[in-house]
Structure formats: structure tokens, C-alpha cells
Amino acid sequence: MPDTTTPPGGTRRGVLFDVDGTLIDSSYIHTIAWWGAFRQYGHDVSMAAIHQLVGMGGARLVDNLLPADRDRDEDGDIMASHGALYASHWPSLRAFDGGKELLGQCHSGGLAVALASSARERDLQVMRSVLDADSFIDAATSANDAKESKPAPDILEAALAAVGVDAADAVYVGDAVWDMKAAAALGIPSIGVTCGGIQASQLREAGAVEVYDGPRHLLENLGSSAIGRLLALQPNP
């Protein structure tokens, strides 16, 4: 169980991290997997259209990309096909440069660190293995922890509860428009990263207070970032 007790001398603060496209280079793998799944069921959907919606939950993504008059009985099969195709790429997954170190800096600074992911539980386990940073992670969520997927804030609420942090004392880091919108729904400042392939202007328009190229770029500017402002509020050890 994660330690959710308030630290001596003050408020518990934390950082929530999306995983796919934020810490792990997987956004385009998801795009290819969805493209293949749609093709298997006779739907010709462009990769560009799919990529823009990666980060939504699977059911939302399917509903947004396929015609309203489709045979909805196939939706579950399409999502299962996506999952199988994505799993075939597990050996190719890699962590973005600086991701592990970024989590380590947040953890060593006294912040609670939570992975706020809506990935399937098995996919999340694989990505955590690739990330190799469990000693810096206090809690993690998966698709099983939320009724509604992003841009609904359910996953973030679950992550906050898991580490005992209030929304007012947290920052969220993500790569998708849907991450920014989920954070905004709870009033959490969000940091965008463009390593998932979404443009900085789109992330800012969706509510990001800052945008960086990726984990390494954020780490290099951590002191002046929204996370740095949380770290500055931490009591001296």
C-alpha cells in the first residue's frame, strides 16, 4: 500500500504522470494498432485521425472515429483486436530519455508520484517494466480504476486518492489534449510534452500551463516549472 500520510510539517503534494506517449514512446504504436484493428473489421480510418485521439479511452476513440450507424456489436471486438496488435509490439517499447530521472527527482524532493494511466492493467505492467522506476512510484492507476476514460477526470481522481493528495496540491504531466482537459476538469495545472506527437499549440489551447519537448527537457527546466514550484513548497529535510 502507498504511504498516504501527510508529511511532517505540512501538506502532501504530488505529481501525476500519464504514461503512454509521456514516459513511454508508444503513441504511434497505438496508432498503428488501432489502424490495423479498424482494417480487420472493414473500416478505413486514416492514421492521422487516429493519432489525434490516442489518449482517449478505447470506447470513446472508436465512437469518435466510426460512423454512428455502424454495427456497434463489433466495437468490443475492435478494441480487443487493438489490444492484441499493441501487445505484439511490447518488445519494441522504450522509455523516453530522462523519464526515470524525472520521476526520481520528484520523489527525492518529497513529492508523491503517481502514474495516472488509463492503459489496460497488463499493458501498464509492461510499461512499468520498461520504465524501470518503481522505486520512485507511489501508486499507479489503470483502466480498471475509472468508470469514464479521459477526457473525463476519473483516472486523475483515482490517482489523487491513491496517494492522498488534493487536486489543489498536484500537477499533471501528459502528452495528449485529453490529458490537459482531464486535468482542467479538476483544476490541476497540467504540463504538456510534445514527445507523443501532439503540437505545443494544441496542448496549450487545451489548458497546458507549460509545454516541453519531453521528460529530459522538463527535467532540465524542473526548477522553473510548475513541478518546481511544488518542490519549493516542500519542507526542508
| Average pLDDT along the chain | 95
| Cβ neighbours of 104 (radius 10 Å) | 15
| Side-chain-facing half-sphere of 79: CA atoms under 13 Å | 16
User: Which ranges of the chain does DSSP label H, i.e. alpha helix?
Assistant: 27-40, 47-53, 58-65, 75-87, 99-108, 121-131, 154-163, 177-186, 200-205, 215-220, 226-232
Q: How do the domains of the chain map onto residue ranges?
A: 14-25+93-232, 27-92
10 pLDDT higher than 70 = no
Question: How far is the first Cα of the chain from the last one, in angstroms, to the nearest whole number?
Answer: 24
pLDDT in tens, 99-128: 999 999 999 999 999 999 989 999 999 999
Q: What's the pLDDT score for residue 143?
A: 87
pLDDT in tens, 173-194: 999 999 999 999 999 999 999 9
Identify the CATH homologous superfamily for domain 14-25+93-232: HAD superfamily/HAD-like (3.40.50.1000)
187 dihedral zone (left: phi>0; alpha: psi -120 to 50; beta) = left
The domain 27-92 is placed in CATH, from the list 1.10.1160, 1.20.1250, 1.20.120, 1.10.150, at: 1.10.150
pLDDT in tens, 12-47: 999 999 999 999 999 999 999 999 999 999 999 999
